[in-house]
Amino acid sequence: MYGSVYTDPNAPDVVETAAGEIITSDMPEHPDYEAHLVAFEARIDAGEKIEPDDWMPRRYRDQLIRLIQQHANSELIGALPEGTWIPYAPSLKRKKALTAKVQDEVGHAQLLYRAAETLGKPREEMMAELNDGSSKWSNVFAYPAETWADVAVIAWLIDGAAIVNQTIMANGSYGPYGRALKRICYEESFHMKHGEDMIITLMEGSEAQRQQVQEALNRWYWPLIMFFGPHDKQSVHTEQLKKWGVKPKTNDEQRQEFLGKYMPRIYELGLTVPDPDMHYDEASGEWRHGEAPWDEFYQVIRGNGPMSAERLATRRLAYDEGKWVREALER
Ligand code: BYC
């Protein structure tokens, strides 16, 4: 039995022997583990994609489940701040575009939960962990969307930040995640353009509308800076994820790419950011930002953000109200 688990690269990770003993193909003490790991890492270094049936170390599988599950949760919870504005959209055109965007975000969650399922974690378990608050979702969705301008800033800059992150992660080593992200990026690009169009319209409007955009940007700026995760020195997972090709660029590299793309656009539109230290560093060709409120970030990701409880309550309500549909499908 041991032989089949450790010598067959397609063997499942966890196998129960006839004697009821649980063994995994990721037991570092097993003599074949090292050989499997070397072959696995050589495939990654050669730029090959890892597919669901391929042998992979247990930690690779666990990291991907953590990452993809959090990403899927973020798409589902992320639909809520904008979704609550659908009834108040200022025109039919905006209402149709926002409704389509919210539907897209929920669709992204479906694609991502599916990608996580290929690693062996059942969707019901992921839903239960989202509903009981034990799994994470992106910090940005724990803040309120106070005005219509917040909806515009979310679509322009949060989707813009997500495109930067996802275009990078789409080149990662796990095939199903990369393919899901490529498809998601097409839709996010459309959302970002829709957001930019809303921002330009508001900025060409009245003084009150311009002020509304500036106030919304002031609210979202620091959460956006923290969207890319802690600085590389504080990041827990980056080193391992980079080594295994899951995360081709670090948190700080991703943040820099975002600032390089969006800071010029923010200033061109006549907007500012609430960060006295923000400046362009000629020598490095990079935008330098001030220190973000990281204490707030850690509070938020532990579930203590201003809207964390309300978002979860809405999510649970939607889950409970959809119970009859799930039951009908099972019949
Ligand atoms: N928020 O070691 P680190 C969208 C956690 S939705 C919350 O650097 P990693 C949209 C991190 O999980 C798209 N938690 O982690 C939807 C870890 O905690 P655990 C959202 C965060 O994984 C609707 C700890 O901090 N995008 O665009 O190497 C409408 C240490 O961090 C955050 C994604 O989900 C955060 N921002 O790198 C509109 C991107 N950052 O797990 C728009 C996918 C860090 O040890 N995720 N943490 O308990 C990633 O790319 C990576 O997970 C991160 C973090 C870059 C975010």
Q: Is 282 helix (H, G, I), strand (E, B) or coil?
A: coil
Q: How far does the centroid of ligand 1 lie from the alpha carbon of residue 53, in Å?
A: 26
Per-residue pLDDT band for 34 (boundaries 50, 70, 90) equals: confident
In terms of Cα–Cα distance, which of 41, 40, 49, 38 is closest to 172? 49
* Mean pLDDT, range 25-51, rounded to an integer: 84
pLDDT at 58: 87
Where is pLDDT greater, at 328 or 14? Answer: 328
Task: Give residue-wise pLDDT tens across range 62-99.
Answer: 999 999 999 999 999 999 999 999 999 999 999 999 99
How far, in Å, CA of 106 to CA of 320, rounded? 17
Tell me if 134 CB under 6 Å of ligand 1: no
Closest residue (by CA) to atom 8 of ligand 1? 235
Task: Please tell me if the CB atom of residue 216 comes closer than 6 angstroms to any atom of ligand 1.
Answer: no
Question: The tokens 């020195």 sit on which residue?
Answer: 233
Determine if ligand 1 sits within 6 Å of the CB of residue 233. Answer: no
Q: Is the pTM of this model over 0.75?
A: yes
Predicted local distance difference test score (pLDDT) of residue 16: 55
pLDDT of res. 32: 76
CB of 227 sitting under 6 A from ligand 1: yes
Q: Is the CB of 172 under 6 A from ligand 1?
A: no
Looking at the domain that runs over 14-330, which CATH code has it been given? 1.20.1260.10
From atom 48 of ligand 1, which residue's Cα is the shortest distance away? 136
Average pLDDT over residues 46-51: 96
pLDDT for residue 261 is more than 60: yes
Mean pLDDT of the chain: 92
% of residues, the chain, pLDDT over 70: 91
Q: What angle do CA 66, 72, 74 make, to 5 degrees?
A: 100
**Residue 303 CA, ligand 1 centroid: distance in Å:** 14
Does residue 158's CB lie within 6 angstroms of at least one atom of ligand 1?
yes
| 224, 201 Cβ separation under 8 angstroms | no
pLDDT of residue 331 exceeding 90, the answer is no
User: Which of these ranges, 10-24, 36-50, 60-74, 131-145, has the smallest mean pLDDT?
Assistant: 10-24
Q: Is residue 69 in contact with ligand 1, taking CB distance under 6 Å?
A: no
Give the pLDDT confidence of 14-26 residue by residue, as tens digits: 655 555 555 565 5
